[in-house]
Amino acid sequence: MHVLVIGAGGFVGRHLVGRLVAEGVRVTAAGRDPARLAQAVCGVSTIRCDLTQDVADDWLLRLCGVDAVVNCAGLIRDGGRYATVHDKGARALFDACLAGGVGRVVQVSALGADAGAVTRYHLSKRTADDHLAGLDPAGARMDWVVLRPSFVIGRGGQSSALFGALAALPLTPRLGQGRWRVQPIHVDDLVAGILRLLHRDRPIAARIDVVGPEPMTTDALTASMRRWLGLAPVLGVRLPRWLLAAVTRLGIGPVTHESLTMLEADNTGEAEPLIAATGLVPATLDVALARTPATDADRLAARLMPLAPVLRWLLALVWLAGGIVPLAFTPAGTNFALLARAGLNGTAAITALVAGAVLDLAIGLALLARLRRAALAGIGVMLGYTAVIAATMPALWADPFGALVKNAAILGLALAVHVLETDRG
Mean pLDDT to the nearest integer, 70-95: 88
Query: Would residue 209 count as lying in a domain?
Result: no
**The domain containing residue 370 runs over which residues?**
309-424
Instruction: Judge whether 423 and 304 are in contact, CB under 8 Å.
Output: no
Query: Residue 299: which residues within 8 A CB-CB, separation 6 or more?
Result: 168, 229, 230, 231
Query: Would residue 8 count as lying in a domain?
Result: yes
Q: Answer whether residue 352 shows pLDDT above 80.
A: yes
Query: Would residue 189 count as lying in a domain?
Result: no
Q: Which of 102, 99, 95 is nearest to 132 (CA)?
A: 95
Q: Answer whether residue 79 shows pLDDT above 60.
A: no
Enter the pTM of the model.
Answer: 0.86
Domain boundary among 98, 129, 149: 149
Mean pLDDT to the nearest integer, 236-246: 87
Q: Is the dihedral of CA 397, 402, 405, 407 positive or negative?
A: negative
Query: Residue 119: which residues within 8 A CB-CB, separation 6 or more?
Result: 112, 258, 261, 262
Q: Answer whether residue 203 shows pLDDT above 90.
A: yes
Query: Would residue 186 count as lying in a domain?
Result: no
CA distance 6 to 97: 12
Domain boundary among 125, 149, 173: 149
Per-residue pLDDT, 99: 96
% residues pLDDT > 70 (the chain): 97
Query: Would residue 228 count as lying in a domain?
Result: no
Per-residue pLDDT, 253: 63
% residues pLDDT > 90 (the chain): 75
Mean pLDDT to the nearest integer, 114-142: 93
Query: Residue 61's Cα: distance from chain center in Å?
Result: 31
Per-residue pLDDT, 244: 85
Query: Residue 230: which residues within 8 A CB-CB, separation 6 or more?
Result: 294, 299
SS3 405: coil
Instruction: Judge whether 157 and 149 are in contact, CB under 8 Å.
Output: no
Query: Would residue 278 count as lying in a domain?
Result: no
Query: Residue 136: which residues within 8 A CB-CB, separation 6 or more?
Result: 98, 142, 144, 205
SS3 193: helix
Q: Answer whether residue 424 shows pLDDT above 70.
A: no
Give the domain CATH number at 35.
3.40.50.720
Q: How many CB atoms lie within 10 A of CB 240?
A: 12
Domain boundary among 127, 149, 171: 149
Question: By mean pLDDT, which of 166-170, 244-248, 278-282, 362-366 is the weakest?
Answer: 244-248
CA distance 272 to 214: 11
Q: Which of 350, 309, 302, 308 is nearest to 326 (CA)?
A: 350
Mean pLDDT to the nearest integer, 397-403: 83
Query: Would residue 106 count as lying in a domain?
Result: yes
Mean pLDDT of the residues in the chain: 92
How many domains does the chain fold into? 2
Cα 223–Cα 224–Cα 229 angle in degrees, nearest 5? 95
Per-residue pLDDT, 200: 95
CA distance 41 to 44: 7
Q: Which of 142, 20, 161, 23 is nearest to 93 (CA)?
A: 142
Q: Answer whether residue 104 shows pLDDT above 80.
A: yes
CA distances 58 to 100, 141, 163, 395, Å, are 11, 21, 39, 66
Q: Answer whether residue 248 shows pLDDT above 80.
A: no
Phi, psi of 369 (to 5 degrees): -80, 0
Per-residue pLDDT, 379: 96
Per-residue pLDDT, 262: 79
149 pLDDT band, cuts 50/70/90, is very high
Query: Would residue 353 count as lying in a domain?
Result: yes
Residue type, 144: W
